[in-house]
Every structure is written in structure tokens, then in C-alpha cells.
Chain A
Amino acid sequence: MDHEHLIQLQGLTKTYGKGSASFQALKGIDLSVERGEFVAVMGPSGSGKSTLMNILGCLDVPSGGRYQYESIAVNELSTNQRSLLRRHALGFIFQGFNLLARTSALENVELPLLYRGMSRRERHDMAISALESVGLGDKLRNTPAEMSGGQQQRVAIARAIVTHPTTLFADEPTGNLDSTTTVEIMELLTRLNRDRGITVLMVTHEDEVAEYAKRVVRFRDGHIESDVLNEPVLS
């Protein structure tokens, strides 16, 4: 198998339910993603894009086919091994931010580091530098309730990148934000992709948001409908 690709899918399928009530969400997906790409995954609801993202993010398992991340055959991993892969290589941001309530920005960002068994000092320093890189160096002690949506999403991004992941999965990252904040967040993601070489896979249904990506993959009825490279965005 070719080891050049970061992500390689071959005939990936996902079926929910059993028998006549079963529903095939993914009908044999072949897809490769290279290191350093910024891919937007688009499509109407029910097209299978979220299912694909969950499988790529190791949160769900495929029913059939092959999923290779770097040199790892993910479809053969145990639940526990998939947790460890998430911990060490993947970062997540969500539409609803998913920060811990009543917990400071700093502690939220420290959370993934806790599971890596790092020292207090190390955790602290890494979390602060991650928050500074998203422009929240002055909000370390604020809890989610004390921050705007854009700020909360930036905390979530800091939490996702604090572990220096190879791949960042973003599920509708601007879905809950107004247009000004959307631009801020997308520019931040673009910068992380460009400057740090983090591979970004993003689900969105907004064309303006998808324009920030270098490549757009469109889904329909469990198939890839189109897979095109964007014109380079001048910024």
C-alpha cells in the first residue's frame, strides 16, 4: 500500500441498522488526503458527510472497506487504540464548541494534556502558548459563560491544537457564529494550515466558508459527487 498519503480510504461503507430497516450512509468511498491539505466536505444533510467525518476522526467504525491513517490500518484498531490515536494525532472542533462549563479557558485547553500525563508546569506553559496563538492570551481565567461565541470557538481551537495534532477535524466550526466572527475563525484555521502544516478536514454547508479550503469534496447519497481544487484565495 502507498504510504505517501496521510489518509487513504478504499471502498469504505457504513450501514446503520439491520435487515430491511438498514440504511447505508456510505456506499463505498475512495478518498485520499495528503499531508498539509485543507479539505472542505460539503453536501446536504443525510448525504453521509458527518458519518465520514466521524469515521475519519476515529469516533465511529466503518462497516466495510479500508481506512488507513499514515501507516495505521484504523479499521483494525480496538476502541482503546482508536482513543490513543485521537489523543496523539487528531484534534477536534465542533459547531457547539463543546467546552467544559464553569471551567476556565486555561483549564479547558489543559484537558487533553491531562490525559498525556504531563507535568503541571508543562501543561500550563503549553496551554498558555496555545491560547496566545489564537489571540486569547488575556482571557486565560475566563469561563465559557464569560466569552463570546467567537472567543469560545477560539478556545476550542486552542484545545484542539495544544497537542500539536497532525490533523484537525472541524465539524461546522462556524455554524453558530455571525459573519464577522466566521471570517476571524476561518482566517485562524487557514493560518494554522499554512503556518503549522496542520491538515484540516472541515464539514460545512456554507459556500463562503468552503472557499477558504484548498479542496472541496461534495457528497450526495453516500457517494462522492465531486472532488475539486479551489482557486487559490488571495488574502
Chain B
Amino acid sequence: MIWNAFHIALREIRRNLTRAFLTVLGIIIGVSAVVTMVTLGDGATESVKNQISALGSNLLVLRPGAGFGPRSRNAPAFTLDDAWAVRDQIPGIAAVAPIRSSNFNTIYLQNARSTQVTGSTDAYFYVNKWTIAEGRMFTQQEYDAGAPVGVIGETVQEELFGPGINPIGQKIRVGNSTIQVIGLLKGKGQVGMGDQDDTIIVPLPTIQMRLLGRNSAHDINVISISAEDGTNSDLLTYQINALMRQRRNLHANQPNNFHVFDTRQIADTLSASTKTMTMLLAAVAGVSLLVGGIGIMNIMLVSVTERTREIGIRLAIGATAHEVLLQFLVEAVTLSCIGGLVGIGLALGLCTVLADLIQVPYAFNSQINLIAFAFSAGIGVLFGFAPARRAAQLDPIEALRHE
């Protein structure tokens, strides 16, 4: 009997396609809005997480100065011993990479550009999640000797060498020295905070002794710290702060002249706020879905009045009140389900286009699609019932006389 009612309902829908389309427009817009919002919101959250985790594994960054910007100018730099102290005295730390970096002019044949050169230990590759795409990283011997070797990022390879040239083994001019390329990093892509791939990694002694002048050559700009999985970031940050205050002889009334930047915390905060934003947008879109449902009820009620005679005919030729109720209910549910499906289809297209446009990863979220579809079907039942019952309660004689 359901199947029969479905068949009759489909006929009715086909008989008046324009009306059907206008009826479900609200549902289409509502469903596609909800699905698009949630999908893109998820994508944005994912993107934030990816960007942060691309920086390093459980990465904490120790920088001189009380924060970013000019306040860090006059703060004293770190020493190599600071890095080793952090590594050796604080529990729960997987690796520490002392970093000395600076911008240099780089030249290969007629191509020249300015690039960030980073001097560090081999731990840097682990801490900042760099993997070698081609070639190799520097050896311990090369490190100890401060050998003129370096591993370049994808952007440097593209800009300096261009396609078709294997950079491995080539020599490039960096500042006043010559560096031999021994490896190529696997690209991380454009991340929110700039192009990570525009980099050259060299052994720490190389940048200190060969590339930089004698002046402040042994300063450490940044100490990258990788925490072990499952460590408490708050405790770790507290411990690092305490250690550094002690090492830098700060009195109790003096503020920190360094700061710890905890990427995990930043990631959590950012993804929490994007999630809130997503929920908010989805709620707004959900209201439009509700309005769409009321639209269906409105049209179905008008439709019952408009089709009173038709209902009379159906009753006269032997349809039971139950079947008329079922027909109108199935009609409303079918309409709203079709609306839901079209909305999901529309959302699919919208997400693909928009995800590309605003540069967030697009992942098909089957859960929200299912929820949105179930919701639209539920709206059909909810808002279809009142008109359907009104139709079923019509008196056949009255209905047949209706003009």
C-alpha cells in the first residue's frame, strides 16, 4: 500500500513540476546551506590543524623577546648551552633543535633570489617534520666540520633551478660562500604563515662559521622543541619558563625576555573557534531548513484546498480516507526527500567549488549528509501531516461539489 501511495504521489508530482519545484526550493536551499557550512567548516578546522601540525610534531618554539614583533629586538639571544639544558633538564622532551637562521642572497647561474637559510642540527628535520624527497641530509662529519653543504626546499628548487635541472650536486652561491646542494626537501606547501618551502637547511656550524660574519655568530635565534606524545603542554611550558628564567638570571620582578610558543595549544584554540563558528553558521542554515519545511506545509495546505475536487473524485471511486492521508503524506515526504537529495547534490558542487576558492581541504562528510537528508524527510512527515489529515477528513459529497 505504501508503494501504491508512492506511485500515486509521484504521478501527482509529475503532473505539476513547477509547483513541486517551488515547494521544495526552501528545502533545497536549507539542506545545501547546512551541508555546505558544516563541510567547509570541517575543512577549515582541518586546515588549521594541518597547518599547525605541518610546523612540527608536538612543537614548542622558544624565542627571545616577550612576543612577536619589535619587543623581541633587544632581547638577548640564546646560546647552544640553553638548548642542551632544555633537552637534558626537562623531562618529556623528544628532541631539541637549536636554530640560527638568516636571509641570504642566493644565486645559481643567472637566477638570484633572497632565501631564508636555517642552520641547525639533524634533530631539526625531526622536530619540524621535514622529510628528504631526493638526495640526503648532512652527515655528522659534515656537521662537525661545518661543511658547505645544504638541503633546499621545493620553492628554492623551482625558483633557482627551474624544471629539468637536478639540483643535487649543484653548487649555489649563498651570501659570500658557495654551498653544495645535497638534498631536496619534500614540500609542505603554502601554509598560512608563509611559504615553508622557501628554505635552505645547512649544518649549524656552517651558517655560524661560513655564512655569517664573526659578529654574534654563535647566537641561537630559536630553539625548536619537540615534546613527547601525551605530555602536558602547560606543565612543559611552565618548566621551560622556569629553566630559562634561571639561566637568564631574571629576578622575580622582571618579566620574561623570551617566550614559549606552543603550537598544540594554538591548534586547539583555533580549531575550537572554527568549530564554534561552523556550528553557528550551521544553526543559521538550519533555520532556513525549518522555513523550507513551513513552505512545504503552506503549499500542501493550499494544494489540499485546490485539489478538494480531486480528493472527492478519489474518495468516490473507492479510495479510503486512510489512502488519501497516505497519498498526501507520501507526497510531502517524497517532495522533501527529493528536495533533500537535490540540496545534497547542490552542496556537493558548492563545496567542491568553494573549498577550492577559499583554499580549505574538502572532505565528504557522510554524517552531515545523512543528518540533513533525514532531517528533510522528517520535515516532510512533520509538515505534511496536517494537510494530509485535512485532505483525508474531507466529506466526499462536499468535496465533489467544490468548485
Contacts and interface: CB of A to CB of B under 8 A. Distances in A.
A91 B4 CA distance: 21
Contacts, number: 63
Contacts of B312: 98
A86 B317 contact: yes
A117 B323 CA distance: 12
Interface in B92-128: none
A146 B318 CA distance: 27
Interface stretch (B8-16, B251-259, B268-276): B8-16
A111 B8 CA distance: 9
Interface string A45-88: 00000000010010110000000000000000001100110111
Given A102-B15, A103-B15, A117-B4, A87 B310 contact: no
A202 to B, nearest CB: 16
A83 B315 CA distance: 7
Interface string A80-115: 100110111011101000111011000100011011
Interface in B367-397: 396-397
A154 interface: no
A159 interface: yes
B7 interface: yes
A39 B260 CA distance: 102
Given A80-B320, A117-B4, A54 B397 contact: yes
Contacts of B397: 54, 59-60
Contacts of B16: 102
B168 interface: no
Nearest to A107: B11
Contact of B322 (A54, A80, A92, A159): A80
Interface string A128-151: 000000000000000000000000
Contacts of B400: 59, 94, 98
Interface string B293-337: 000000000000000011011111111111100000000000000
A88 B319 CA distance: 11
Contacts of A99: 313
B4 A115 contact: yes
B358 interface: no
Contacts of A117: 1, 4
A216 to B, nearest CB: 24
Contacts of A90: 318
Taking residues whose C-beta sits less than 8 angstroms from the other chain, chain A's interface range is 20 to 34
A94 B399 CA distance: 13
Q: Which of A57, A59, A83, A87 has the most chain B CB atoms closer than 10 A to its own CB?
A: A83
A4 B208 CA distance: 120
B18 to A, nearest CB: 12
Contacts of A84: 318, 320
A114 B313 contact: no
Contacts of A57: 316
A87 B318 contact: yes
Nearest to A112: B317
A83 B319 contact: yes
A88 B396 CA distance: 17
Contact of A112 (B1, B11, B318): B318
Contacts of B316: 57, 59, 86, 92, 98
A59 B400 CA distance: 10
Given A98-B309, A107-B11, A87 B4 contact: no
Contacts of A54: 397
Interface in B1-52: 1, 4, 7-8, 11, 15-16
Contact of A59 (B1, B4, B309, B396): B396
Given A84-B320, A86-B317, A114 B4 contact: yes
A115 B319 CA distance: 6
B13 to A, nearest CB: 12
Contacts of B319: 83, 87, 115
Contact of B321 (A80, A87, A115, A163): A80
A59 B394 CA distance: 12
A117 B144 CA distance: 89
A83 B314 CA distance: 10
Most buried by A among B317, B320, B396: B317
Nearest to A108: B313
A115 B317 contact: yes
B309 A83 contact: no
A132 B18 CA distance: 33
A79 B393 CA distance: 11
B7 A79 contact: no
B302 to A, nearest CB: 16
Interface in B198-239: none
Interface of B: 1, 4, 7-8, 11, 15-16, 309-310, 312-323, 396-397, 400
Given A102-B15, A114-B8, 6 more contacts: A54-B397, A59-B397, A60-B397, A83-B319, A87-B318, A98-B400
13 contacts: A57-B316, A59-B315, A59-B316, A59-B400, A79-B321, A83-B320, A86-B316, A92-B316, A98-B312, A99-B313, A102-B15, A112-B317, A115-B314
- Cβ-closest 10 pairs across A and B: A87-B318, A83-B320, A86-B318, A112-B317, A59-B396, A98-B313, A92-B316, A80-B320, A59-B397, A115-B319
